Each structure stands twice: as structure tokens, then as C-alpha cells.
Amino acid sequence: MHAMTTDPGPAIERILHRFSNHASLDPTLPLGAHGLALDSIAIVEVLMACEEQFGVTIAADLLAGEPLTVGGLVAAVEEARLKAS
């Protein structure tokens, strides 16, 4: 697990690049349609990879409501890391 002071953004970008060839990972870019175009299974796999990478559990309701963005994923990982500490 990475230290709490480590920015999770670069590691999350590496995970996202395993699932998408999208060159730009702007924080406002949705993971699904109109963004990285990941399907629901790929998005769940991204969440699981983040959980494994950071040793956290990401909130189950993250996928409810508004489409998940790159920035939203980073924020969810940061929140999960704070709860785990």
C-alpha cells in the first residue's frame, strides 16, 4: 500500500491506461460513455484494481447517480484511504 501522502493520481492513470488507449485523462472525463468508453464490467474491474493497488474498499454507491469521472475516481480512492487510516 502507498503512503497516505502519496498522490494516487499517477497510479490510477496507469490502471486506467490498462483498460483504455485514451491519450488524455482529464479529471472531468467520464469513465463510461462520452469519455473513456469503458463498459460497466471494465469500470468494475478498474475499481477492483484500485482497491487492490491501495488496499482500500471503495464505496459501493460510487456508481450510482452521476457518471464516474477520472477525478471522481481519484477523489473516491483518496476518501477510502482516509477512512482506512
Residue 3 lies in a domain: no
Does residue 36 have a pLDDT over 80?
yes
The pLDDT, as a whole number, for residue 52 is 97
Q: Which domain holds residue 36?
A: 9-84
Given this model, what pLDDT does residue 23 score? 82
pTM for the whole structure? 0.88
3-state SS string for the chain: CCCCCCCCHHHHHHHHHHHCCCCCCCCCCECCCCCCCCCHHHHHHHHHHHHHHHCCCCCHHHHCCCCCEHHHHHHHHHHHHHHHC
Q: What is the pLDDT of residues 6-34, one digit of tens each?
A: 889 999 999 999 999 888 889 999 999 99
Quote the pLDDT of residue 21. Answer: 87
Domain membership flag for residue 1:
no
| Counted domains in the chain | 1
